[in-house]
């Protein structure tokens, strides 16, 4: 069974953890809101109980509300409406005529209780429809109910007050009436607003932390992979270095013997001796490249004109200076032998790409503190599947290749603080692009 890639599996794990944490935090915030709601309802019940339990006639309500500091601070409006929605008693911000739309906006609970929230005002409207009480108690509530006589009373100072006072308040609770109380519940609204703001912030914080931890995990995973790769490279390098050293001596002996044979028998076996010398040269080049790959990638860094080094290497390998005549100096800070090795590897690859040698071209450009060196050919190009592997040690698509040149070049360029990339060209062929930091005289070595 194939395992999921680390990036994909870690993303799924992070998202699952975030969803779990979000559910837990959602439950906690919902619990805070529910607790605030229960406290609000309890306080409202206590207010209603305080009002009802402290008077026996309607005249007592006004005195009760205005003489009680707590009730004055908490209650914004209070009223009692009859079945025709007219006020029997009204105080504060209670509406002059009861509006049934209020009931449609609130969720009905048992026994005709309604709770309507006024978010921007910080208040809660608590409405009780007394018809259910009448029905449960066997009364004859409704529009035909006989009501106690009423008498008008002058408005109460402090606002528009319309009152019609019955002789006995409790007689009206047995009819189909509406009790209206609007009270301030600032603590409740503070909790609602705080949770509304904090919940998304906490969610985003959890998401950020989750992806931050994932990023750390991926970086550590990458570092572990690099460390493991370096350990393997040390083992391979030690073995390769030993083999290269052991191969050099026999190769020297073989080349010495073929030289003696060619002198003793100049006209005999020339083709065979040439083939032997060719293979010896190929193996010698391989041992030198292995040593190149294993040696220190930094070397003795110094300020170099990469344009001049590239011109010299191209002149030596192709017999012509491939650098355009109008190209100026491009100073980089790098070991000269390693820079020459990079140019030699890349130009050789371009010449061996299968395209015309005269189509091999180079360019050097400087921009924004970067030196870009490009080496191009019109050969076979690189298969798309091989583009990600061309810089791997010992990977080659050529029958006579060693697979060391590009990996050596990559090590040397990256050690100098640069980068190297290979891509196919439009119209056929490939190009290698090297980007190195431009060196200035004030830079410290």
DSSP-based three-state secondary structure for 363: strand
**The pLDDT value given to residue 384:** 82
pLDDT at 121: 62
At 198-243, the pLDDT tens digits run 888 998 998 899 889 989 988 888 888 778 767 766 666 676 667 6
Rounded CA gap, 431 and 433, in Å?
A: 6
Q: How far is residue 426's CA from residue 295's CA, in Å, rounded to a whole number?
A: 36
User: Using alpha carbons only, how large is the chain's radius of gyration in Å?
Assistant: 46
Q: With bands split at pLDDT 50, 70 and 90, how would you rate the model's confidence at 55?
A: low
Instruction: Find, among 271, 116, 252, the residue nearest to 180 by Cα.
Output: 116
Domain ranges of the chain: 54-184, 216-292, 297-437
Residue 82: band (very low, low, confident or very high) from pLDDT cuts 50, 70, 90: confident
Q: What is the pLDDT of residue 376?
A: 92
Contact 164, 89 (CB under 8 A): yes
In this prediction, residue 354 carries a pLDDT of 81
Rounded Cα distance between 420 and 436, Å, is 9
- State the average pLDDT over residues 426-436: 90
For 328-345, how does the pLDDT look when each residue is reduced to its tens digit (9 = 90+)? Answer: 889 999 988 889 889 988
Q: Where are the alpha helices (DSSP H) in 137-175?
A: 169-173
**Token couple for 344:** 């030699």
pTM of the full structure:
0.45
| CATH architecture entry for 297-437 | 2-Layer Sandwich (3.30)
The pLDDT assigned to 232 comes to 62
Asked if pLDDT for residue 145 goes beyond 50, the answer is no
**Residue 166 phi/psi, 5° resolution?**
-85, 165
Whole-number mean pLDDT of the chain? 77
Residue that wins the pLDDT comparison between 308 and 76: 308
Q: Are 100 and 117 spatial neighbours (Cβ–Cβ below 8 Å)?
A: no
Give per-residue burial for 410-421: e unless 16+ CB within 10 Å, then b. bbbbebbebebe
Q: Contact at 8 Å (CB) between 383 and 397?
A: yes
- Between 175 and 242, the more confident residue is 242
State the pLDDT confidence band at 308, using cuts at 50, 70 and 90.
very high
Task: Give the Cα separation of 311 and 361 in Å (integer).
Answer: 11
pLDDT at 120 over 80: no
């Amino acid at each position: 069974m194939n395992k999921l890639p680390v990036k994909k599996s870690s993303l799924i794990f992070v998202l699952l953890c975030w969803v779990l944490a979000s559910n837990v935090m959602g439950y906690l915030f919902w619990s805070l809101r529910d607790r605030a709601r229960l406290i609000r309802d309890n306080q409202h019940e206590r207010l209603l109980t305080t009002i009802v339990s402290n008077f026996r006639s309607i005249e007592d309500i006004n005195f009760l509300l205005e003489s009680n500091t707590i009730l004055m601070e908490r209650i914004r409006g209070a009223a009692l409406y009859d079945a025709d929605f007219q006020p029997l008693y009204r105080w504060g911000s209670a509406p002059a005529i009861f509006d049934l739309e209020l009931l449609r906006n609130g969720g009905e609970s048992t026994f005709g209780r309604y709770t309507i929230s006024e978010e921007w005002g910080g208040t809660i409207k608590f409405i009780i429809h007394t018809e259910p009480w009448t029905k449960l108690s066997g009364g004859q509530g409704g529009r035909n109910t006989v009501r106690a006589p009423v008498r008008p009373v002058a408005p109460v100072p402090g606002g528009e007050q319309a009152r019609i006072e019955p002789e006995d308040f409790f007689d009206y609770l047995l009819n189909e009436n509406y009790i209206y109380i609007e009270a301030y519940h600032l603590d409740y609204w503070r909790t609602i607003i705080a949770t509304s703001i904090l919940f998304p912030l906490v969610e985003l914080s959890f998401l950020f932390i989750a992806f931050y931890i994932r990023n750390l995990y991926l970086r550590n995973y990458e570092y572990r992979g690099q460390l493991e790769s370096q350990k393997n490279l040390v083992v391979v390098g030690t073995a390769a270095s030993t083999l290269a050293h052991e191969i050099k001596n026999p190769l020297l002996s073989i080349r010495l013997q073929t030289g003696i044979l060619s002198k003793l028998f100049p006209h005999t076996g020339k083709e065979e001796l040439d083939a032997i010398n060719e293979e010896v040269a190929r193996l010698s080049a391989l041992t030198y490249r292995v040593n190149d790959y294993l040696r220190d990638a930094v070397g003795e860094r110094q300020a170099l004109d990469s344009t001049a080094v590239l011109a010299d290497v191209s002149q030596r390998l192709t017999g012509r200076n491939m650098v355009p005549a109008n190209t100026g100096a491009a100073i980089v800070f790098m070991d000269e032998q390693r820079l020459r090795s990079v140019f030699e590897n890349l130009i050789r690859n371009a010449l061996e790409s299968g395209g015309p040698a005269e189509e091999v071209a180079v360019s050097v450009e400087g921009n924004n503190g970067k030196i870009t060196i490009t080496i191009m050919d019109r050969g076979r190009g690189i298969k798309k599947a091989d583009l990600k592997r061309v810089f791997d040690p010992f990977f080659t698509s050529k029958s006579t290749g060693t697979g060391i040149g590009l990996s050596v070049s990559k090590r040397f360029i990256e050690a100098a603080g640069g980068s190297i990339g290979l891509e196919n060209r439009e119209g056929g062929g490939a190009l290698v692009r090297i980007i190195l930091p431009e060196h200035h005289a004030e830079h410290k070595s």
